[in-house]
């Protein structure tokens, strides 16, 4: 047990509930129903840590294919797009960088739906306006509410469509085990999309005879008279030219590319890529090269603190690790957070509201630290022999110079280079508030206000664990990629985490299954709208 940290257990489920994005990072990119996974997981985005995008057409081409529609990426959204396009009799080719379809969708647990037959069978009912208002409220009304309204309105149809394609659900519809606001979560069979969604949809691709090119990486768009005319790629047989009238990007985003994460404004000094480093932002860069409007500054992300000195945990198998997991030292709660000026800058239990909120106020800081003492460690984190041994080993063998122990607060300041007087003053003020039992400064709940009035003391410099981002490319309701002047780029679409516009700045993760619901919905909509464009 984690002592007073027990309540935080709900936060992880809420977090994972929102993770339904199939793209930037292993499972987190997809859980709104999905669970995170370690670096190197299969996904349908870019290459290892940096994009493979080209800006100069190849001198030679080894193979040429003609098609009406090219779907780039065979993860959750790409599968939905390809199947819908085939059902609409659209000529298409599905291209996937990996050696199999599915990407991060395999780690999703379920998807969003309101008013489905499965929901009715479970006796649950949700008012769409309640979902929409809560999402907009938590996002400070930055989002386009029409996008949420459309997702809610089409969610039941999307569930039925999936069932028609052979997708398997467990039959249970709930509020993600009591951790979400409303019962919108439709669990896949076995609680895994690998079983319930990926396998049936991959079979559907095969049954529909969809031409699929695996281990093929699209790296450059072909434009003609301002319109998409195809793309270049590299595959098993060399350089490939696809002549296509429309292209759909479904590559999973840029959550595996430190360069683009830094461009978004995050410090990547001690960055841990939780998901696939293949989510390299190829689609983002190709769209920008084509004149697309940049959504980078508004993009939301799933991101958590970590302590680099501690071993990175396997977020699938050891998510309850009390040292460096969802509820570990970096998580916050009973510790004290300070920045490079030794200022306390927020309440440390932000994860009670939203697991990913912990990093939002830290983004502008030059450095972030967690301060705690032996008593706090023993009560909340060192609850097992393994936890204690892991911590002591990290402390003794820290090559990252991010974890320190001292007999005094001044000693912590000396170890980190923080201003001694400032840190001592901050800790003194924090202890004063703890003694009162009330956080007059930031309002942290009383049970998390544990005084640091006796040593030994510890300080950990915090790094980031990056799971995925939602969006990057500006799209409209038709899933078309939009230029800076507000007009669409004819023939270019972005879906899933490449073009997700549901979130701005903050990944809300409070309604179960919405991110993966968007994967399916955006894939289907792009196929339908691209089909109409092709006919026109």
- Give CA 208 to chain center in angstroms: 31
CA pair distance 125, 118, nearest whole angstrom = 11
CA–CA gap between residue 364 and residue 251 (Å, rounded)? 29
Angstrom distance (rounded) from CA 354 to CA 510: 8
Chain Cα centroid distance, residue 493: 20
**pLDDT reported for residue 284:** 96
Query: Would you state the pLDDT for residue 316?
Result: 60
The DSSP string of 39-65 is: TT---SS-SSSS----SS--S--SEEE
Could you tell me the two tokens for 473? 């490319």
CA 318 – CA 303 distance, rounded (Å): 17
pLDDT tens digits along 304-319: 999 999 988 766 666 5
* Interatomic CA distance for residues 175 and 160, integer angstroms: 20
Residue 82 in contact with residue 203, Cβ under 8 Å?
no
Instruction: Return the SS3 of 231.
Output: strand
Q: Is the peptide bond prior to 130 cis by the omega test (within 30 degrees of 0)?
A: no
CA trace torsion 119, 123, 129, 133 (10° rounding): -90
Q: Count the Cβ atoms, other than its own, within 10 Å of residue 238.
A: 12
Q: Is 109 helix (H, G, I), strand (E, B) or coil?
A: coil
Sole residue written with tokens 């640091």: 452
**All domains in the chain, ordered by first residue:** 54-301+469-535 (3.50.50.60), 308-461 (3.90.700.10)
**Residue-level pLDDT at 10:** 34
Give the pLDDT of residue 51: 63
Report H helices in 37-172: 76-87, 117-121, 128-138, 145-164
Sheet with 457-461, edge to edge strand ranges: 336-339, 368-373, 457-461, 403-406
Q: 59-68 as b/e, with b when 16 or more CB fall inside 10 Å?
A: eeeeeebebb
Q: At what angle do helices 145-164 and 514-535 cross, to 10 degrees?
A: 90
Under 8 Å between Cβ of 25 and 465: no
Mapped onto helix, strand or coil, the DSSP state of residue 211 is strand
State how far the Cα of 407 lies from the Cα of 362, in Å rounded to an integer: 27
The pLDDT assigned to 28 comes to 35
Q: Where are the alpha helices (DSSP H) in 88-127?
A: 117-121
CA distance 201 to 210: 12
**CA 287 to each of CA 51, 248, 253, 385: distance values in angstroms, whole numbers, following the listed order:** 13, 11, 12, 51
Using only C-alpha atoms, what is the Rg of the chain?
Answer: 24
Sheet holding 271-273, edge to edge: 271-273, 463-470, 300-306
How far CA 427 is from CA of 370, 410, 457, in Å, comes to 12, 10, 11
Q: What is the pLDDT of residue 317?
A: 61
CA 349 from centroid of its chain's CA atoms: 21
Residue 147, token pair as written in the block: 């996008």
Q: What is the pLDDT along the chain (536 residues), one digit of tens a residue?
A: 233 333 333 333 333 333 333 222 233 333 333 333 333 333 333 333 456 787 889 999 999 999 999 999 999 999 999 999 999 999 999 999 999 999 878 889 999 999 999 999 999 999 999 999 999 998 889 999 999 999 999 999 999 999 999 999 999 999 998 889 999 999 999 999 999 999 999 999 999 999 999 999 999 999 999 999 999 999 998 999 999 999 999 999 998 899 999 999 999 999 998 877 777 899 999 999 999 999 998 999 989 999 999 988 766 666 557 788 777 999 999 999 999 999 999 999 999 888 888 999 999 999 999 999 999 999 999 999 999 999 999 999 999 999 999 999 999 999 999 999 999 999 999 999 999 999 999 999 999 999 999 999 999 999 999 988 988 999 999 999 999 999 999 999 999 999 999 999 889 888 999 999 999 999 999 999 999 999 99
Looking at residue 32, its pLDDT comes to 33
pLDDT reported for residue 20: 33
The pair of structure tokens assigned to 374 is 């032996």
Q: What is the pLDDT of residue 320?
A: 58
The pLDDT assigned to 39 comes to: 35
């Amino acid at each position: 047990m984690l002592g007073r940290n027990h309540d935080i257990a709900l936060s992880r489920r809420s977090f994972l509930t929102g993770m339904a994005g199939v793209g930037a990072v292993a499972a987190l990119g997809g859980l709104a129903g999905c669970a995170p996974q370690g670096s190197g997981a299969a996904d349908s985005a870019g290459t290892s840590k940096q994009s493979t995008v080209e800006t100069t057409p190849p001198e030679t081409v080894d193979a040429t294919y003609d098609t009406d529609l090219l779907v780039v990426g065979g993860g959750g959204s790409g599968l939905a797009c390809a199947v819908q396009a085939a059902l609409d009799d659209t000529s298409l080719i599905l291209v996937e960088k990996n050696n199999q379809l599915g990407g991060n969708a395999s780690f999703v647990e379920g998807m969003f739906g309101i008013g489905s037959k499965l929901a009715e069978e479970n006796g649950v009912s949700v008012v769409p306006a309640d979902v929409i208002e809560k999402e907009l409220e938590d996002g400070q009304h930055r989002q386009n509410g029409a996008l949420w309204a459309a997702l809610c309105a089409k969610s039941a149809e999307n569930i039925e469509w999936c069932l028609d394609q052979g997708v398997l659900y467990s039959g249970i519809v709930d509020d993600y085990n009591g951790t979400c606001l409303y019962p919108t979560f439709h669990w896949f069979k076995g609680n895994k999309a690998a079983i319930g969604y990926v396998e049936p949809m991959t079979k559907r691709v095969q049954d529909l005879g969809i031409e699929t090119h695996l281990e093929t990486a699209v790296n450059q768009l072909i434009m003609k008279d301002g319109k998409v005319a195809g793309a270049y790629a590299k595959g098993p047989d060399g350089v490939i030219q696809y002549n296509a009238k429309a292209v759909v990007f479904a590559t999973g985003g840029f959550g595996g590319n430190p360069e683009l994460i830094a461009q978004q404004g995050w410090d990547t000094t001690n960055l841990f890529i939780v998901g696939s480093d293949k989510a390299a932002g190829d689609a983002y860069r190709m769209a920008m090269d084509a004149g697309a409007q940049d959504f980078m500054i508004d993009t939301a992300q799933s991101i958590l603190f970590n302590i680099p000195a501690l071993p990175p945990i396997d977020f699938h198998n050891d998510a309850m690790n009390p040292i460096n997991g969802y509820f570990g030292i970096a998580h916050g709660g009973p510790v004290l957070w300070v920045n490079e000026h030794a200022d306390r800058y927020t309440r440390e239990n932000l994860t009670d509201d939203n697991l990913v909120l912990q990093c939002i106020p830290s983004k502008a800081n030059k450095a972030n630290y967690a301060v705690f003492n032996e008593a706090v460690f023993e009560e909340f984190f060192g609850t097992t022999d393994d936890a204690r041994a892991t911590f002591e080993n990290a402390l003794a063998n820290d090559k990252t110079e991010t974890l320190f122990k001292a007999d005094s607060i001044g000693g912590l300041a000396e170890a980190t280079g923080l201003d001694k007087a400032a840190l001592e003053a901050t800790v003194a003020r924090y202890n004063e508030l703890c003694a009162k039992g009330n956080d007059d400064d930031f309002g942290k709940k009383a049970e998390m206000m544990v005084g640091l009035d006796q040593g030994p003391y510890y300080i950990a410099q915090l790094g980031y664990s990056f799971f995925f981002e939602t969006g990057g490319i500006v799209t409209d309701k038709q899933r078309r990629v939009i230029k800076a002047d507000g007009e669409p780029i004819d023939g270019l679409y972005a879906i899933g985490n490449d073009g997700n516009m549901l979130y701005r700045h903050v990944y809300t993760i409070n309604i179960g299954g919405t991110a993966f619901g968007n994967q399916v919905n955006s894939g289907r909509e792009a196929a339908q709208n691209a089909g109409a464009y092709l006919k026109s």
